[in-house]
A = this chain, B = another copy of it.
């Protein structure tokens, strides 16, 4: 993409109303703009990041056997009356009346709806187990939305729901999602810590939150340092997931009020964390009131055992920035970077430099390397600052002197390391990662 043709409105000044660094940087890097309180448009650069996160979340759900579908945003109030949550949910639920005065709502979560869908179709225990998920926009009408997309009102969530014939099955589904989540966050370039959690308004008796580490996190975490040594990406769906979860959860990890110093080990690390995932096993909490049952092996009806599993996809975009930035701007992990390379033309308008840049840009495109080419007629200093701000993993810098010498300068954003290399060597370095 040529920057001159892109829509990337970066800001030099720090927006005064943004309190946390990810919010400031997402505004400055031209990723998002606020449309109403807690409601954001994702500009092209931000949208690319959001899609990359979404695709990694999706790939790991699929790998662990969850099946994707899509539920609507608008739900009928009646379903929520059946579960008893219509009144219980309070003013965070955005309630709507349609033109026929029917009571609707913008879904904050989908336990009721998926239970309703599943109960209409599933007849026999043979159709279980099953995990269904979707990635859809949700709405929670926060009293004071703040921190950008970290605590917005309209947000993108991946929510999965498991259906099993008994508690043992439901615990296996829970273990699958537990492993899938740790693998997802690792693939996103994040250290994630699972901590035992309260079940809150979803209900149930087993629940974990997943926090990513960032100095600016809202939660205080108390963690056994051995937890940092576990390889979270190593597992697949056919491995011993019960053993894996047992091994992980036997290591102490707690957030804030659930921390119990009496139970904690001597060697304990405290860190700040941002909650980006939450999983629940809640048994028949929804299947009972909604009458979701299948015929069991002995021919009698059995209520379905369920769990739900949420990842804050849009929040992750902010969370990754909180975990990975410096004074100059964002430092994208390779896996979610909106482009892999930023190509900087130091002297746009100079025929030889333009030709060298155009050649390199074509080579990068042909090699399938996502490249943002700053071809604008701007000062070099401004281009450097802009590229550091938006945080692409690699910068390739070409000016008249380099063209003369037949080299480009390759800079790794994360370390600041710079090397003069031939074009071929620079391309090879990028290809190696």
Contact = CB atoms under 8 A, between A and B. Distances in A.
Interface in A358-402: none
Interface in A113-143: 113, 116-117, 120-121, 130, 132, 134, 137, 139, 141, 143
A67 B7 contact: yes
Interface stretch (A71-79, A173-181, A296-304): A71-79
A57 to B, nearest CB: 15
Interface residues of A, number: 52
A250 interface: no
A154 B136 CA distance: 13
A409 interface: no
Interface string A132-176: 101001010101000000000110000000000000000000000
Nearest to A142: B99
Interface string A334-347: 00000000000000
A94 B96 contact: yes
Scoring A44, A69, A71, A141 by chain B CB atoms within 10 A of each residue's CB, the highest score goes to A69
Contacts of A39: 72, 74
B113 A67 contact: no
Nearest to A131: B7
A99 B35 contact: no
A244 interface: no
B143 A99 contact: yes
How many monomers of this chain does the complex have?
2
A99 B104 contact: no
A86 interface: no
A172 to B, nearest CB: 14
Nearest to A48: B68
B35 A113 contact: yes
A228 interface: no
A40 interface: yes
Scoring A6, A36, A91 by chain B CB atoms within 10 A of each residue's CB, the highest score goes to A36
Interface in A11-41: 30, 33, 35-37, 39-41
A217 interface: no
Contact of A33 (B44, B76, B120, B132): B120
A41 B72 contact: yes
Given A9-B121, A41-B117, A143-B99, A35 B76 contact: yes
A70 B42 contact: yes
Scoring A72, A76, A117, A143 by chain B CB atoms within 10 A of each residue's CB, the highest score goes to A72
16 contacts: A5-B130, A30-B121, A33-B120, A35-B76, A35-B116, A36-B75, A41-B72, A44-B132, A73-B154, A74-B94, A74-B153, A91-B99, A94-B98, A96-B106, A99-B143, A137-B137
Interface of A: 5-7, 9, 30, 33, 35-37, 39-44, 46-47, 50, 65, 67-76, 91-92, 94, 96, 98-99, 102, 104, 106, 113, 116-117, 120-121, 130, 132, 134, 137, 139, 141, 143, 153-154
Given A36-B102, A40-B72, 4 more contacts: A6-B67, A36-B74, A41-B113, A98-B153
